Amino acid sequence: MQGVPEHSEIVIVGGGPVGALAALRLAQAGRDVTLIEARAKDAPLRDARALALSWYSRQQLATAGAWPDELPATVIDSVHVSQQGGFGRTVLTQQDLGLPHLGAVVDYPALTAALATALEQAGVRVLWQARVSKVASLARYASVTLTLNERQHLLTCRLLVLAEGGVLAESLPGIQRHVHDYQQSAVLAMVEASQPHRNVAYERFSAQGPFALLPHGEQMMLVWTRSHEEAARLHAADGSVLLAELQQAFGERLGRFVSVGERAVFPLALRQLNSVHSGRVVMIGNAAQTMHPVAAQGFNLGLRDAVGLVAALEGAADPGDAALLRRYGAARRVDSHAVVGFTHGLVRLFDGQGVAVKALRGLGMSAIDALPPLRKAFAGHLVFGVGV
């Protein structure tokens, strides 16, 4: 167990995938990094999420040494987008971008374990089971107040990176968080169909709410947006009820849905900061923004935050320099606002079920599908981000 230093050049709070990737890449760049994580090192993760990673995200994790050959992941070769009860569809493939795959699906616990192993192998200082109660920024350094082994410690740094759930950022000067409650929940469940998925991910906009079907081994992970009441009903209902409703909403592209596993429910909201930096503190990943799971962009955006921060700090004598952090914030604003706006717009656009709205959606999907340059640009933004 590593002790708490008095000072570290860069401190990262939050040892999830975004914070861990930032720590690994900064350590590779020769920075003195301390990562603080609230959970115990070997604590089992009970997280039902399967993450849909773009090929760009997968490559960034591999560069950090966090994508071992044995990592249980299922590749995505194409994405099929359609709507229930209306014409029009879009199919994006790896050939559109000349990539081996468009992305991959991996369980959150499996990726987190791979990152923990990579951190240990890289010799990154990690303070496990440490809880941060206060952060502050002064002219020459930032500080973190944390509790480890029932003792309180004060740790200073040149740059503090918040990569946790976002609570700490709200105590910083000039930081405000915009929140939009969608009044919806996501229902997650593993389902099995009678026909193989052939590494196709499906995005379907149904009358009951948008859902994704992600290839996951021989099965598929369902992420279905419903009202809170409907999500609670599906969570409690017999599996045959969910399968019947999914079959009606999806059709028979995969034959019949034959089984469903345990279900989990998560409330959905958009949360975005007015600024991703305050003094010598910068926010990345969920600390900067969380969004609706439609289009599976939130996690990939967070990883691009981490990669962008490492690039912005390259060669900087003072990683907490105000001008440097302003440039980082401006650079990330393009990607972040574009992705948040796109995701939020999709939720609103596909929430309507009128004839005119369906026709507009159908025309848009048909246009993307029929025009290769438009399809390539659209796929490129999903895989690599905007302005990256």
pLDDT for the residue numbered 275: 95
What percent of the chain is predicted at pLDDT more than 70? Answer: 87
Q: Answer yes or no: pTM beyond 0.95.
A: no
Q: Looking at the structure, tell me whether residues 170 and 288 fall in a common domain.
A: yes
Residue type, 310: V
Mean pLDDT of 350-375: 63
Q: Is residue 124 part of a domain?
A: yes
Residue 90, pLDDT score: 83
In a domain, 42, yes or no: yes
Does 63 map to a domain?
no
Q: Which conformational region is residue 58 in: left (phi greater than 0), alpha (psi within -120 to 50 degrees), or beta?
A: alpha
Same domain, 286 and 377: no
- Tokens, residue 379: 């796929």
Assess whether 231 and 358 both reside in one domain: yes
Q: What is the pLDDT of residue 366?
A: 63
Domain assignment of residue 51, yes or no: no
What CATH code is carried by the domain that includes residue 224?
A: 3.30.9.10
Position 371 confidence tier, pLDDT thresholds 50, 70, 90: low
Name the residue range of residue 254's domain.
73-106+182-268+353-384
Q: How many helices (H) and strands (E) does the chain have?
A: 9, 19
Query: What mean pLDDT is predicted for residues 366-384?
Result: 65
Residue 322 has pLDDT above 90, yes or no: yes
Q: Is the pLDDT of residue 1 over 60?
A: no
Average of per-residue pLDDT across 17-29: 97
Q: Are residues 195 and 297 in the same domain?
A: no
Give the span between the Cα atoms of 120 and 122, in whole angstroms.
Answer: 5
pLDDT tens string 213-242: 999 999 999 999 999 999 999 999 999 999
Q: What is the pLDDT of residue 89?
A: 76
Return left, alpha or beta for 324; rule: phi > 0 is left, psi -120 to 50 is alpha, else beta. Answer: alpha
Residue 138 placed within a domain? yes
Tell me if 28 is assigned to some domain. yes
CATH for 126: 3.50.50.60
Q: Are residues 162 and 213 in the same domain?
A: no
Kindly provide the b/e burial profile for residues 173-206, where b requires at least 16 CB atoms within 10 angstroms of the residue's own CB. Answer: eebeeeeeebebbbbbbbbbbeeebebbbbbbbb
pLDDT in tens, 89-121: 788 899 888 999 999 999 999 999 999 999 999
In a domain, 326, yes or no: yes
Q: Do 305 and 164 belong to one domain?
A: yes
Answer yes or no: do 195 and 263 share one domain: yes
Same-domain status, 371 and 289: no
Averaged pLDDT of the chain: 89
- Tell me how far apart the alpha carbons of residues 220 and 303 are, in angstroms, rounded to a whole number: 24
Structurally, how many domains does the chain consist of? 2
**Same domain as 204, residue 254:** yes
Q: Which of 84-93, 156-165, 364-373 has the lowest mean pLDDT?
A: 364-373
Q: Are 162 and 13 in contact (CB under 8 A)?
A: yes
User: Is residue 207's pLDDT more than 90?
Assistant: no
How many other CB atoms are found less than 10 A from the CB of residue 129?
Answer: 15
Same domain, 129 and 250: no
At position 152, the amino acid (one-letter code) is Q
The reply to whether 161 and 122 lie within a common domain is: yes
Summarize pLDDT for 43-94 with one digit per residue, the tens: 877 776 889 999 999 999 999 999 999 999 999 999 998 887 666 678 889 9
Least confident of 79-88, 254-263, 376-385: 376-385
Q: Examine the pLDDT at 154 and tell me if it is beyond 70.
A: yes
Cα dihedral 372, 375, 381, 383 sign: negative
Is the predicted pLDDT of residue 373 greater than 90, yes or no? Answer: no
Reply yes or no on whether the pLDDT at 253 is more than 70: yes
Sign of the Cα pseudo-torsion (92, 97, 100, 102, in order):
negative
Q: What is the pLDDT of residue 88?
A: 64
Average pLDDT over residues 11-32: 97
The per-residue DSSP string of 182-239 comes to EEEEEEEEEEEESS--TTEEEEEEETTEEEEEEEETTEEEEEEEEEHHHHHHHHHS-H
Q: Which two tokens stand for residue 43?
A: 């604590």
Whether 366 is covered by a domain: the verdict is yes
On whether both 207 and 339 belong to a single domain, the answer is: no
